[in-house]
């Protein structure tokens, strides 16, 4: 039982279902204050956050992450209680083991070892933790970043502990993410009896050709860092439930995951022009939840890749795949951002787990990254 594993189990035992923190941050703050960090607790709405910093000089390296977890799902489906961490067959089981209490534990122990060996390290080290990443992400990292920006406190390098690895720790690191643009579309018609369609106007029929065209469109071809932009419909709802009633309206929820080849404004304009060409009577509500960002190869990427190689002997691969993360709030400030964490095979699933030895490996990678940048 390593120090990293013990801390991970302590964190997992706290039922911090978003936006609850359940004492996780206090546990981490105690550890950080003991090694010289100055801590600001920042509560916005019902969300606990904190910013901790050791040093007042640049460059500033920050670990970022979240203490909240997703709901457990049916408890009777778990082989052991999700908030009673258990090690079986070399794996640590519990909600948050991979996403991302294991990463946080590895960050803390890596920082403790680094400071013990380098008490007068270069620059500064910081932590930005929230309990709002798995929720609406309104009162979490984005608010802390605004707080820092208001006083012109800038992060130079940020490592987010999201579970980026695919098969082995460090095989994938994320150096960017696609943008996410969602929408709720309502197309209006005239409700009526299916036997008298000439007295009604079916919005489903009106929408269908436009939707078919949308799903077949090529938005861009991507680039060296990003795959092509994708469009997906996630929900369609219409009708009263009766078989003999033409619906009065249809609602469609859809989402773009877009590359740096297009902007959110371009996508919106193309979609609305298409709906107008099809002469739809529609209302459209857009929600831009994140712009695409990319950290090119440089000091942070190089230090992280070298650390992975030193600890594992593997060559980490750069990727921008997957969903959004809180990195989308930090990158626009000018920070270099990478995401590196455990294998993501069981995140958000029943029986979430991580290989126990992987957390020690991850802690060693984090420590080597700190040495490469600030040692």
CB contact at 8 A, 326 and 99? no
Is 133 marked active-site? yes
Is 68 marked active-site? yes
CB contact at 8 A, 249 and 186? yes
Catalytic residue among 68, 134, 156, 162: 68
Catalytic residue among 20, 21, 99, 133: 133
Catalytic residue IDs: 68, 133
């Amino acid at each position: 039982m390593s120090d990293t594993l013990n801390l991970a189990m302590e964190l997992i035992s706290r039922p911090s279902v978003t936006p609850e923190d359940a004492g996780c941050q206090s546990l981490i703050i105690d550890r950080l204050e003991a090694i010289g960090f100055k801590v600001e607790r920042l509560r916005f709405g019902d969300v606990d956050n904190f910013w901790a910093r050791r040093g007042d000089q640049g460059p500033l390296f920050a670990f970022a992450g979240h203490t909240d977890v997703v709901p457990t799902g049916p408890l009777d489906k778990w082989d052991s209680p999700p908030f009673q961490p258990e090690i079986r067959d070399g794996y640590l089981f519990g909600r948050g083991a991979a996403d991302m209490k294991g990463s946080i534990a590895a960050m803390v122990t890596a920082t403790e070892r680094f400071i013990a060996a380098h008490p007068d390290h270069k620059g500064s080290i910081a932590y930005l933790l929230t309990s709002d990443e798995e929720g609406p992400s309104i009162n979490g990292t984005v608010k802390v970043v605004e707080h820092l920006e208001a006083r012109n406190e800038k992060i130079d390098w940020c490592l987010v502990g999201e579970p980026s690895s695919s098969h082995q720790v460090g095989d994938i690191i994320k150096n960017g993410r696609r943008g996410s643009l969602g929408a709720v579309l309502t197309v209006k018609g005239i409700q009526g009896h299916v036997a008298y369609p000439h007295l009604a106007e079916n919005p489903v029929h009106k929408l269908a050709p436009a939707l078919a065209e949308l799903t077949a469109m090529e938005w861009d071809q991507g680039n060296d860092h990003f795959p092509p932009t994708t469009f997906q419909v996630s929900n369609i709802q219409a009708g009263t439930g009766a078989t003999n009633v033409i619906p009065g309206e249809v609602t469609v929820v859809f989402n773009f995951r877009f590359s740096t080849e297009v902007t959110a404004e371009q996508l919106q304009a193309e979609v609305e022009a298409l709906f107008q060409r099809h002469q739809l009577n529609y209302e459209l509500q857009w929600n831009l939840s994140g712009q695409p960002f990319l950290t090119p190869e440089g000091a942070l990427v190089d230090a992280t890749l070298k650390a992975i190689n030193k600890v594992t002997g593997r060559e980490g691969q750069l990727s921008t795949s997957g969903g959004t993360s809180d990195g989308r709030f930090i990158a626009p400030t000018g920070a270099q951002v990478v995401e590196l964490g455990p294998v993501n095979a069981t995140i958000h699933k029943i029986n979430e787990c991580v290989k126990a030895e992987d957390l020690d490996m991850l802690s060693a990678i984090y420590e080597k990254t700190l040495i490469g940048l600030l040692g």
